[in-house]
Amino acid sequence: MNRSWRHRDFIAFGAALVLPLGMAAILVPFRSSFANTAAALVLVAVIVAVAVGGNRVTGLVATVSATLWFDLFLTRPYGRLAISHRPDIETAVSLFVVGVIVTELAARNRHHYEVAAEESDYLVLIYGLSELVASGAPAEKVIERARAELIALLNLRDCRYEPRLSERRSARLDHDGNIVHAGMVWGAHNMGLPSPAVDLLVQARGQVLGRFVLRPTPGHPVSLHRRVVAVAIADQVGAALRPQLRSA
């Protein structure tokens, strides 16, 4: 998560604590003439605002906070965490349930947005690299661009290209995005890439032309999407090296 998202979530968490209290306090002078169901709807609107602007945790905090202040300030007996009328109990329960549902919907919507934004960034990355290859740029320039992109994409400590394969057996990032380490599929989505290095082969026309040696940041999870994009980057390098294959 980047800094802007952390800052946004910090503000949303503060809002989750303060806004329901502030709205309940505003409604206090009108509680004798303002229906409790209407007050609950106003508090639901506050929960929606917090959940959309924050995350699942802030939405749940806002839900608990709104239900608490609704009970304390807007239901009889006032100033006590007790409700004497059954309709008010039903309203408080409904407020909590609706708040939880709204929070979950907002969290899923935010996740879908982040995934869509990330996939858009991947398309831009691959397009930029393919344009470089199509422009006839030297293979060395394409390799250097790919190396930088791989470091950023996979959060690597280092990455280098070697025009040959190693005789020792290393972990390998396969074309389907899976990591094969010691004959087994490695759970990179949870554990990150295996240390000390992972080979990403560069191929063209079925021939292996070289490899990127990926040196991972230990324990940093890498999603399947990112690994597949890394393979696509290696394929672009293979396309850039293809003229050398024809001349060989």
Is residue 96 domain-shared with residue 193, that is, in the same domain?
Answer: no
Confidence of residue 244 (pLDDT cuts 50, 70, 90): low
The answer to the question of residue 121 being in a domain is no
Q: Which carries the bigger pLDDT value, residue 95 or residue 195?
A: 95
Using the predicted structure, report yes or no on whether residue 90 has a pLDDT greater than 80: yes
Is residue 110 domain-shared with residue 146, that is, in the same domain?
Answer: no
SS3 of 37-94: HHHHHHHHHHHHHHHHHCCHHHHHHHHHHHHHHHHHHHCCCCCCCCCCCHHHHHHHHH
Confidence of residue 96 (pLDDT cuts 50, 70, 90): very high
Q: If phi over 0 gives left and psi between -120 and 50 gives alpha, with beta otherwise, what is residue 171?
A: beta
pLDDT over 90 percentage in the chain: 67
Using the predicted structure, report yes or no on whether residue 158 has a pLDDT greater than 80: yes
Using the predicted structure, report yes or no on whether residue 1 has a pLDDT greater than 60: no
The answer to the question of residue 131 being in a domain is no
Confidence of residue 5 (pLDDT cuts 50, 70, 90): low
Confidence of residue 205 (pLDDT cuts 50, 70, 90): confident
pLDDT digits (tens, 9 = 90+) for 22-35: 999 999 999 888 89
pLDDT of 214: 96
Is residue 96 domain-shared with residue 147, that is, in the same domain?
Answer: no
The domain that holds 239 is classified in CATH as 3.30.450.40
Using the predicted structure, report yes or no on whether residue 185 has a pLDDT greater than 90: yes
Mean pLDDT of all residues in 120-138: 93
Using the predicted structure, report yes or no on whether residue 202 has a pLDDT greater than 90: yes
The answer to the question of residue 125 being in a domain is no
Mean pLDDT of all residues in 136-163: 95
| HSE toward the beta carbon, residue 3, CA cutoff 13 A | 0
- Number of structural domains found in the chain: 2
pTM for the complete prediction? 0.69
Is residue 154 domain-shared with residue 96, that is, in the same domain?
Answer: no
The per-type count for the chain, helices as H runs and strands as E runs, is 7, 6
Is residue 8 domain-shared with residue 106, that is, in the same domain?
Answer: yes
Confidence of residue 246 (pLDDT cuts 50, 70, 90): low
Domain around 204: 136-247
List, edge to edge, every strand of the sheet that includes 156-162.
156-162, 207-216, 198-204, 171-173, 179-181, 184-186
Mean pLDDT of all residues in 155-172: 86
Using the predicted structure, report yes or no on whether residue 167 has a pLDDT greater than 90: no
The answer to the question of residue 49 being in a domain is yes
